[in-house]
Structure 1
Amino acid sequence: VMTTSRDVLETLGTDKQPSDVLVALGYASWEKGQLEQEILDNAWLTAPADLNILFKTPIADRWREAAKLIGVDILTMPGVAGHA
């Protein structure tokens, strides 16, 4: 579950918390439509959510494992995006 719901957050550290927990704090800000346009411009790699990667894979390895889901060897990625 992804949530900012206080009642779910208050279960953390208790016997009622979800079995898999990932707490993330941060800040990101886009103008209206900016993220969508960046995705259309191929500035982002998108992959399906994978619970094993999110909850069982060491944090330092998650981005590489997520890239593998879409057949990408991140070490061979160029620093620019383009269209074929």
Structure 2
Amino acid sequence: MVSLAPGILLIADPFLKDQNFARTVVLLCEHQENKGSFGFVINKPFDQKLSDLVPDVLPGNIPVFYGGPVQIDTIHFIHQQPDLIKGGFEIMKGVYWGGEFDTVVELINSGRLDPNKIKFFIGYSGWSGGQLENELNEKSWILSESNTHIIFEEKNQNVWPQALKNLGSNFAIMANFPIDPLLN
């Protein structure tokens, strides 16, 4: 059975109405039962590119994702490049959160950073102590193991349905549920 821990995916229940999290998948980066949890929505593109938010970044095509509704004036990143980006925290095998941002900008501008091995977020998703457990009890989230394919490679619109399908046939059917069951 999957439990709350760094590297776990929180898959939004098909009928979750919260606009911040409807049909989203959150990569949990930290969880401390009494202190709280945080992570990033990995499948909700932000309306600006990294170069729009960080003028020092030269390439204009690097996407940014809406990490969540908390501190949307901050930029965060996860990556698979610990050999190039120092100072990150491993949240699951081969996936790191954060590191030296100046180094990231330099690597991007020099073309030495594989854009498929890094993901940027504006803001983050956060829960106070016990809040996420309550949301799980209310059936707002479905827990799943994660993998680098779903985090870094899957097309944004496919992440939520694919995460459900990865859980097996009992969950795969949920990927086709309408947003509002009254419209069925």
Q: Could you state the TM-score of these two structures normalised by the residue count of structure 1?
A: 0.67
Residue in structure 1 matched with residue 128 of structure 2 by the alignment? 31
**Of Structure 1 and Structure 2, which has the larger fraction of its residues in strand?**
2
- Give the superposition deviation at 1:11: 3.2
Output the amino acid matched with 2:139. N
SS at match of 1:23: strand
1:22 and 2:114 are equivalent in the alignment: no
**Of Structure 1 and Structure 2, which has the larger fraction of its residues in helix?**
1
2:116 and 2:126 mapped to 1: Cα distance?
30
Structure 2 vs 1, CA of residues 64 and 11 (structure 1 numbering), >3 Å: closer, same or farther?
A: farther
- Give the superposition deviation at 1:50: 1.6
- Give the superposition deviation at 1:40: 3.0
Structure 2 vs 1, CA of residues 62 and 78 (structure 1 numbering), >3 Å: closer, same or farther?
A: closer
The within-5 A match list for 1:3-82 is 3-5=97-99, 7=100, 9-12=101-104, 13=108, 14=110, 15=112, 20-71=117-168, 72=171, 73=173, 74-76=175-177
Confirm or deny: 8 A CA contact 1:20 1:55 kept in the other structure: yes
Larger deviation: 63-72 or 24-33? 24-33
Please, which runs of 5 or more residues in structure 2 have no aligned partner?
A: 1-94
Confirm or deny: 8 A CA contact 2:116 2:152 kept in the other structure: no
- Give the superposition deviation at 1:29: 4.0
- Give the superposition deviation at 1:34: 0.5
Percent of aligned pairs with the same amino acid: 23
Output the amino acid matched with 1:10. D
Please, which runs of 5 or more residues in structure 1 have no aligned partner?
A: 80-84
Residue in structure 2 matched with residue 82 of structure 1 by the alignment? none
- Give the superposition deviation at 1:64: 0.7
SS at match of 1:26: strand
Q: Could you state the TM-score of these two structures normalised by the residue count of structure 2?
A: 0.35
SS at match of 2:123: coil
What number of residue pairs does the alignment pair up? 78
- Give the superposition deviation at 1:31: 3.3
Report the aligned-residue RMSD.
Answer: 2.9
